[in-house]
Structures are given as C-alpha cells and as structure tokens.
C-alpha cells in the first residue's frame, strides 16, 4: 500500500510520499527544505516549531506544534509555515512587517513560531485584547527580546490586517488510509469502521490529538508502522446538551471545549488556558487526557469533582463508567483493549452549587502541576448537603478524598467543617517527593487549598462562585 498524504502546503497542493508517522517538522526541514520552523524542545513546549494548520473538518487555521504533529494527521487539510506567510504580500504578513519594524526579534530562533501564533490569532480575531495576545503567545518561548515589543508588534499588526486574511478554501478530503509501505494512517469515518479496523489491526496505535502519545515519535524516535486517527469520526466530534448533562465527544479538542467551560465553569476555563497553550489545546482532546491516566493530568481533578462519567464504546456496544472508578492504577484505567472513550458526560451546574479548581505550579502558564485541587459542593441554607473533593499530583492516580467529603456533608460550611476536611486531606493522602515539591509541601498545599475554597465561597451572595488559582 502506497497512498500519498494529500494536503495544501502554503497554498499549493502537496502529495507527500513518506512515512505517515514522520513529524511535520521533520518533513518540512528535511524533505521540503523549509527551515523557518525550528526544533527547540521536541515536546511541544517552546513553540519554535509552530505552524498554522487547518484540519480536514475545519474552516479555520490554528497554531500547532509541528514537532509533535505527525504528517499523517494533515491528510485532507492545509498547512502554512512562516515561509508561506512571507508570500502573502509584497513584504509578507502584517505580523512579520511589524515585528521587523518594531525590533521585536533578536536572535530570531523563536520568531517564526511567534509570527505563526500571532497570525493565527489575527485570522480569527482582528481586534484582540492584550489578554488575547498573551494567551496566543503562552506557548511561545522568547529568551532574548522579552514580550513587550512582541505584544506591541501584535497590536500594530491588528490595526492593519483584516480578519480571515489566510486562505480558507477547501482543498481536499481526508482519505481512509494514507502513507507509504513503511507507515500508514487510517482515518475511519464511523465508530463501526474504527472497531473493525482495530480488530483487523490490533497493533495500530490509536491517536486523537497526539500531544502526549506522539512524544514517543518526536522525542524517543519510536516508529509506528500503523496508527489510527479518531479525527474524522463524526460521532466523536460533537458537544451537546442532553437534558442536564453536557456530553463531550472523544475527539473534541480542549480548544473546542473551552467556550463551554467558560459558560458553565469559568474556573475550569482558566485552568484549561493554563495547562495548555492554544497550540496544544487545538490538538489535544479531553478523552486523550483521561485515557493516559496520568496522576498529574490537570483535566481529571476538575472532572472528578464535577461528577463526570466516561462512555466507553466497543464492538459489543457502550458502557458508562464513573470517572471516580475509571483510574485503576498508575497509568492504568478501566478501558479494555477494544474500547475507546466515545464521550465524557458532565452534569451541568445548578444554582446552589459551588465549584473551584486550583493549580499550584512553579510557573503560571504551561507547567506541570505540583498540586491540582478541585472542590465542588451544594450549599443549602449555609449547610453543605453534598460535596466532592479531588486532587492531582497527590497519588498514583487522580483521586477523590472521601474522608474529607464526609467531614463536610451535612455540616455548616464554616471554619470548623473546613478544618475537619483539611485534617482529613492531610491524613488520607501520602504524596511523593520529587523536584516539583516535597511530600510535606504537597500535603500542606492540598490541605490549605481547602481553606481557600472556604474563604472564596462561604457566605457568598452569588448563587455560584467559580474561581481558579
């Protein structure tokens, strides 16, 4: 089997005859000699590799880390590099012009990625606020210039560039299979096709966004003879309300989920912006974040506290698992080899509920949590009638703390019940010591987050308070 991977590259149709598991960055720099995009970390953290991508099922470009994106994922879509932006006008894209005029670059290593990130922002938002600009740049590291002149260039470019300045015409459709004989990617269109493929190709890697899984290729130089993408499965691409439940499809990205989080759980939205840049949020999925069963995955504590359930789809049908029972051990979850997470279902908030989530890390943006704590409760006449408390970074899995919950339920929400819950947290959890924090530090932080939750919610006149550290 040898089927070229077809997509648009800087406005021209491309048929890449290569391994489907080749990273986009490797292909650009080696095969196409387009070397504006750089490799800094090979983990999707520094943004030097940033490009603009439009997936086959989308009309909009978004920044992406080409170092952890596999070229098979581009099939049917479009890619713009910094070289492509330079060809959009006599002097290049407005961001490039203003970066040069304002002296916003020194060594230049990071500049192509910054240009791509800001161009993607202005393509969707021609009048961004400073906060929008900062969010767009959160995934791009600049070591020498500093961000003030970069932000100034973005502001100046916004005054000259029109919305939708990037080409959005449709170029092609995603193929069912693409790649050369050494590595191919399957793009099933339905769950039935996916289950059939997995039965006939049990060794094929299952890939949603790949922001974690693709590190094996980008960083560890693994090779995948076959992998299966969930991106083209319509049943996994929906976010819908079913009664009082919000159901998020297994291939929905964090960026696509973000508006819903902002509407219903603003503190969760703040957390999402912190643990993933736009580049990562536009690729990574909620389902992938949970399926890795990482003890420090920031999505899990919030979803545990909110009472989420996962719906697992297999060849014999669906089954629903409470997220609290989903994590069975370190990097282990209650999901069979022939199952996938088809959706995550979260109860919508009610007026008497309170919810807060806090992330404590050495760096505010894009850093691994030392402790992540999430707190949900139902307050009725000042009394806690129900609650859920969850933590990440405190055990081998994301974990709830039933002893602390029991110390609060049925009690007045005050210093006394809070202190009982705080002591229960310290007694039940035995975190590890690593370079992010000692066990004693983690225990103290986790317990003291309980106090912050009290201070932010007790006696509030608002029906619902949602905050994030």
Helix (H) or strand (E) holding 433: none
pLDDT higher than threshold 50 for residue 465: no
Check: CB of residue 314 under 8 Å from CB of residue 339.
yes
| 3-state DSSP assignment of residue 391 | strand
For 392-406, what is the mean pLDDT? 96
Q: What is the pLDDT of residues 35-74, one digit of tens each?
A: 999 999 999 999 999 999 998 878 789 999 999 999 999 9
Q: Tell me the pLDDT tens digit for each residue of 17-29.
A: 999 999 999 999 9
**Average pLDDT in the chain:** 92
Q: Which pLDDT does position 459 carry in this prediction?
A: 56
pLDDT score at 170: 53
pLDDT of 461 above 60: no
In whole angstroms, give the CA distance from residue 394 to residue 388.
16
Q: What are 88-105's pLDDT values in tens digits? A: 877 889 999 999 999 999
pLDDT at 452: 95
List, for residues 316-330, the tens digit of each pLDDT value. Answer: 999 999 999 999 999
- State the pLDDT at residue 464: 37
- pLDDT reported for residue 251: 96
In the predicted structure, residue 448 carries a pLDDT above the cut 90: yes
Kindly report the pTM of this predicted structure. Answer: 0.93
DSSP per position, 104-167:
--SS-SSHHHHHHHHHHHHHH-SS--HHHHHHHHTT---SSS-HHHHHHHHHHHHTTPPTT-S-
What is the residue-wise DSSP string for 223-285? --SEEEE-TT-GGGS-EEEETTEEEEETT-BHHHHHHHHHHH-HHHHHHHHHHS-HHHHTT-B
Q: What tokens were used for 405?
A: 């919950």
Q: If pLDDT is split at 50, 70 and 90, which confidence band does 171 have?
A: low
């Amino acid at each position: 089997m040898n089927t070229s991977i077809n997509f648009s590259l800087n406005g021209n149709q491309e048929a890449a005859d290569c391994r489907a598991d080749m990273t986009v960055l490797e292909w650009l720099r080696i095969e196409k000699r387009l070397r504006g995009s750089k490799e800094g970390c090979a983990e999707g953290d520094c943004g030097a590799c940033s490009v603009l991508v439009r997936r086959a099922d989308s009309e909009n470009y978004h920044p992406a880390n080409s170092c952890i994106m596999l070229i098979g994922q581009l099939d049917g879509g479009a890619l713009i590099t910094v070289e492509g932006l330079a060809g959009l006008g006599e002097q290049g894209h407005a961001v490039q012009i203003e970066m040069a005029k304002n002296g916003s670059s020194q060594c230049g290593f990071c500049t192509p990625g910054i240009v791509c990130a800001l161009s993607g922002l202005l393509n969707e938002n021609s009048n961004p606020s400073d906060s929008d600009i900062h969010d767009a740049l959160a995934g791009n590291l600049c070591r020498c210039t500093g961000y003030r002149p970069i932000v100034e260039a973005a502001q100046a470019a916004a005054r000259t560039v029109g919305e939708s300045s990037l080409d959005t015409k449709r170029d092609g459709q995603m193929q069912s299979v693409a790649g050369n004989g050494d590595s191919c990617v399957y793009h099933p269109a339905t769950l039935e096709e996916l289950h059939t493929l997995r039965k006939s190709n049990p060794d094929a890697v299952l890939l949603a966004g790949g922001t974690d899984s693709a590190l094996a290729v980008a960083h560890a130089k693994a090779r995948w003879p076959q992998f299966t993408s969930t991106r083209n499965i319509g049943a996994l691409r929906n976010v819908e309300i079913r009664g009082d439940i919000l159901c998020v499809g297994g291939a929905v990205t964090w960026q696509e989920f973000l508006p819903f989080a902002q509407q219903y759980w603003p503190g969760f939205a703040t957390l999402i912006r912190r643990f993933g840049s736009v580049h990562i949020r536009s690729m990574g999925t909620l389902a992938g974040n949970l399926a890795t069963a990482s003890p420090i995955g920031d999505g899990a504590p919030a979803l545990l506290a909110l009472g989420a359930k996962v719906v697992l789809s297999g060849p014999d049908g669906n089954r629903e698992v409470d997220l609290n029972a989903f994590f069975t051990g370190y990097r282990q979850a209650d999901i069979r080899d022939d199952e996938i997470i088809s959706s995550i279902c979260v109860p919508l908030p009610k007026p008497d509920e309170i919810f807060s989530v806090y992330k404590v890390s050495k760096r505010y943006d894009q850093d691994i949590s030392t402790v992540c704590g999430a707190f949900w409760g139902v307050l009725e006449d000042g009394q806690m009638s129900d609650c859920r408390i969850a933590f990440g970074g405190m055990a081998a899995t994301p974990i709830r703390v039933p002893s602390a919950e029991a110390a609060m339920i049925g009690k007045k929400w005050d210093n006394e019940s809070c202190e009982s819950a705080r002591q229960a947290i310290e007694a039940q959890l035995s975190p590890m010591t690593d370079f992010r924090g000692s066990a004693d530090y983690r225990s103290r932080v986790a317990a003291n987050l309980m106090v912050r939750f009290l201070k932010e919610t007790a006696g509030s006149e608002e029906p619902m308070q949602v905050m994030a550290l």
